[in-house]
Structure 1
C-alpha cells in the first residue's frame, strides 16, 4: 500500500513541476510584464489547487484503506492519466483565457477526474466492505456536486463568460 501511495505522490509532484515550468517568463523586469502574465499565474494556481486537492483526498482515503485490488489500481492510474493532461491544459487556458474551447477542455478534465474518483470510492468500498472508517470518509466526499457545479460552469461559459468554467472548478473543491 505504501508503494502505491508513493507512486501517486510522485506522479502528482511531477505534474505540478511541469505545470510550474510551463509558466512563461515576463518579457522584462517590470510590473507591467508580470501583470501581462496574470492569467497564466491564475490558471497555474487553480491547477495547483486541483492537484493538491486530489493528493489530499487520496492521502486521507488511502490512509484508511486496508485492501485494494487491480481495479482500484487501474482506476487510480486512469485518473492520474487524466491529471497528466493538466500541464497542457493549464498552458492552453493561460494563453487563451477568454476562449471557450480551452476552458471547456479544462472543465471536462475536471469532470472526468471527479467521476473516476467517484468510481474509485465505490471500488474501495467494495474491496474493503468491513472498513467502517473508510465507508464514513467516502460518504463525506460529495463528488456529484463537483460534477454538477462544473457542468453549470460549462453552460455559463458557453453562453456568457468562458472563465466561469475555471471559477466553478475552483469553487467545487470547497
Structure 2
C-alpha cells in the first residue's frame, strides 16, 4: 500500500499521511522523554546527601535526553526530504520508535545501578539497535525516492551513520573492562551528532530553487 503525498500540500495545515507520521513520532518521543523524567524519584530526605544519591540517575537521564533529542532533530530533517509514505516507511518508522521506547527502561536501569557493566552494555545495545533502525528508515525513504534521491544526495557518504554503530559496539565491548570507558564512548558518539547537520536543508532549499527556475 502506498500513499501519494503531493508537493503542494507539504506546507499546508491539511491532514496528510506524512503529517500523521510526523505527529505520531513526535508524540511518542515526547512520551519517552516524560517517562525518563518520571524515573527520577523525589528524595525523601532534605539533605544534600539525599540529592547526591540521585546523581547517577540524573546523569543517565541527561545522556538519554541528548540522544532522544538528536534522534528527534535528525528524524525531523529526514522527513523534510520525504515526499511520500509507503508501508515499508511506516514499518521502518515503527521499528525505530520501538527501540527509542526502550530508552526509559535502559536509562533507569543504568542510572539506578550506578553505571555497572551489564546495565551499561544493555544501554549500548539499545543505542546500537536504534541506530540500525534509523538507518533502515533512511534506506526505505531513499529506496522510495529511487535514482537521484534527494535524501541520498543530502547525506552523501554518511560518515556519521557509519561511525556511530562502530562506537556503540566498542562501548559494549568496553564494559568488559570498564563501564566508564563505555560511558565516555557514548558521550563521544553523542557529540558527533550534537550539532545539527544542515545538508538536508541546503539540498531542499536548492531543490526548491531549481524548481522555481524551471517554472
**What's the TM-score, normalizing by structure 2?**
0.75
Partners of 2:42 and 2:148 in 1: how far apart?
49
CA deviation after TM superposition for structure 1 residue 144, in Å:
1.8
8 Å CA contact 2:167–2:185 kept in 1: the answer is yes
Q: In the alignment, what sits opposite 1:42?
A: 59
Partners of 2:45 and 2:58 in 1: how far apart?
16
Picking from 85, 88, 112, the partner of 1:68 is: 85
Q: In the alignment, what sits opposite 1:149?
A: 167
Unaligned 5+ runs, structure 2:
1-17, 193-215
Unaligned 5+ runs, structure 1:
none
Q: Do residues 101 (structure 1) and 114 (structure 2) align?
A: no
Picking from 118, 121, 135, the partner of 1:118 is: 135
Partners of 2:62 and 2:55 in 1: how far apart?
11
RMSD: 1.6
Partners of 2:67 and 2:47 in 1: how far apart?
30
Q: In the alignment, what sits opposite 1:82?
A: 99
Partners of 1:34 and 1:75 in 2: how far apart?
40
**What's the TM-score, normalizing by structure 1?**
0.92
Partners of 2:154 and 2:121 in 1: how far apart?
30
